[in-house]
């Protein structure tokens, strides 16, 4: 089997529609803290509490107890292939390849968000590429003194439940107003529009003129992947989620996709094979692939609301 070469791959530039579709549709791709990965696995040090106390003149400094640990990024690859008849490529009045590239990128973005936000099982490297924010918040983490479900709220999307969810992130040691983000399934839009505080003021303000939608004063990022799912999918249908947290603790590993792509390598590429299934058919294959790592820096940096009723 012939080895892939750089010429086999469609160049992806910063302004390309495919890249725009990927970034626009994925909250974690857009906002996650990037970490360059030169290998399959990377350890990222996790900061802990640093005890500060008053010291008497000539006194001894108190030493912080606890273990300096890390989170592990493991690069995972996802992708897919679509068959294209050469007649369609030649006769279509639109740029069919550009459209397919944008579609592939958008579905890749939903898959990536679902795997990093909404998967309910721990990462296994196959059907569940990573341990998601949802799963991390629902799991004990003794390294940061976190108890499962402390930052988890479920039920109806009421004013009190949503306020409590945001409050859990605000009351965290990891709270940083400059880094906080809110990500939610678009299924919440209709719900938000009907919720008002005791003064009759809507808690949700729809953005205009390029400004973001706002919830309790925070900008909301919408993601089709923000739904609960047993395994990663580009078409999740489970309960819609709302995530509040510190983007600096949503750690995204940017791994190289293949050694045959020129540097800089974005870890995302599209490939067209002109003779997809052999000489006897007039079909081409379009392949999309992305390679990323992901880890939650600390579960108590986030809060999750799951609409269950």
Is 148:138 a contact under the CB 8 Å cutoff?
A: yes
Indicate whether 187 pLDDT > 90: yes
Q: What is the mean pLDDT of the chain?
A: 85
**Residue 127 pLDDT > 90:** yes
Cα separation, 187 vs 223, whole angstroms: 10
Q: Is residue 3 pLDDT above 50, yes or no? A: no
List the end-to-end C-alpha distance of the chain, in Å, as a whole number.
53
What's the CATH number where 288 sits?
3.90.1690
Q: Is residue 57 part of a domain?
A: no
Is residue 110, in this structure, part of any structural domain at all?
Answer: yes
Domain membership of residue 127 (yes or no) is yes
pLDDT of 51 over the 80 cut: no
Which range is least confidently modeled, 11-20, 42-51, 145-154?
Answer: 11-20
Is a pLDDT exceeding 50 seen at residue 4?
no
Better pLDDT: 48 or 167: 167
Domain that holds residue 14: 6-45+69-307
Q: What is the average pLDDT across 278-285?
A: 66
Domain count, the chain: 1
Would residue 16 count as lying in a domain?
A: yes
Question: What is the arithmetic mean of pLDDT over 108-125?
Answer: 97
pLDDT attached to residue 6: 41
Range from 120-124, 160-164, 259-263 carrying the lowest mean pLDDT: 259-263
Q: State what percent of residues in the chain have pLDDT above 90.
A: 52
- Of the ranges 48-57, 59-68, 120-129, which is most confident? 120-129
**Residue 240 forms part of a structural domain:** yes
pLDDT digits (tens, 9 = 90+) for 208-264: 666 788 888 899 999 999 999 999 999 999 999 999 999 999 999 999 876 555 445
Give the percent of the chain with pLDDT over 70.
Answer: 83
pTM: 0.86
Residue 139 has pLDDT above 70, yes or no: yes
Query: Does residue 123 lie within any of the structural domains?
Result: yes
Residue 263 lies in a domain: yes
- Confidence at 138, pLDDT banded by 50, 70, 90: very high
C-alpha to C-alpha distance for 9 and 4, rounded to whole angstroms: 8
Q: Residue 195: inside a domain, yes or no?
A: yes
Of the two residues 294 and 105, the one the predictor is more confident about is 294
pLDDT at 42 over 90: yes
Mean pLDDT, residues 77-93: 77
150 pLDDT band (50/70/90 cuts)?
very high
In this model, does residue 271 exceed pLDDT 90? Answer: no
């Amino acid at each position: 089997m012939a080895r892939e070469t750089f010429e086999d791959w469609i160049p992806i530039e910063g302004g390309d529609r495919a890249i725009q579709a990927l970034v626009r549709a994925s909250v974690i791709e857009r906002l996650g803290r990037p970490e360059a990965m030169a290998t399959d696995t990377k350890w990222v040090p996790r900061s802990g509490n640093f005890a500060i106390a008053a010291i008497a003149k000539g006194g001894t400094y108190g030493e912080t107890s606890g273990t300096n640990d890390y989170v592990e990024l493991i690069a995972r690859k996802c992708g897919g292939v679509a068959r294209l008849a050469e007649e369609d490529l030649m006769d279509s009045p639109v740029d069919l390849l550009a459209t397919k590239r944008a579609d592939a990128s958008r579905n890749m973005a939903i898959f990536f968000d679902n795997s990093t936000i909404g998967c309910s099982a721990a990462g296994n490297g196959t059907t569940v590429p990573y341990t998601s924010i949802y799963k991390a918040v629902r799991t004990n983490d003794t390294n940061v003194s976190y108890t499962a479900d402390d930052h988890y709220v479920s039920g109806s999307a009421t004013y009190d439940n949503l306020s409590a969810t945001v409050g859990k992130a605000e009351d965290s040691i990891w709270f940083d107003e400059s880094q906080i983000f809110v990500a939610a399934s678009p299924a919440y839009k209709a719900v938000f529009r009907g919720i008002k505080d005791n003064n009759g003021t809507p808690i949700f303000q729809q953005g205009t003129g390029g400004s973001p939608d706002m919830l309790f004063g925070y900008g909301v990022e919408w993601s089709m992947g923000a739904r609960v799912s047993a395994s990663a999918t580009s078409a999740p249908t489970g309960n819609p989620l709302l995530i509040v947290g510190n983007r600096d603790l949503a750690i995204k590993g940017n791994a190289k996709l293949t050694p045959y792509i020129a540097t800089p390598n974005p870890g995302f590429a599209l490939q067209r094979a002109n003779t997809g299934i052999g000489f006897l058919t007039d079909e081409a294959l379009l392949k999309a692939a992305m390679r990323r790592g992901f880890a939650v820096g600390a579960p108590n940096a986030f809060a999750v609301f799951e609409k269950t009723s």
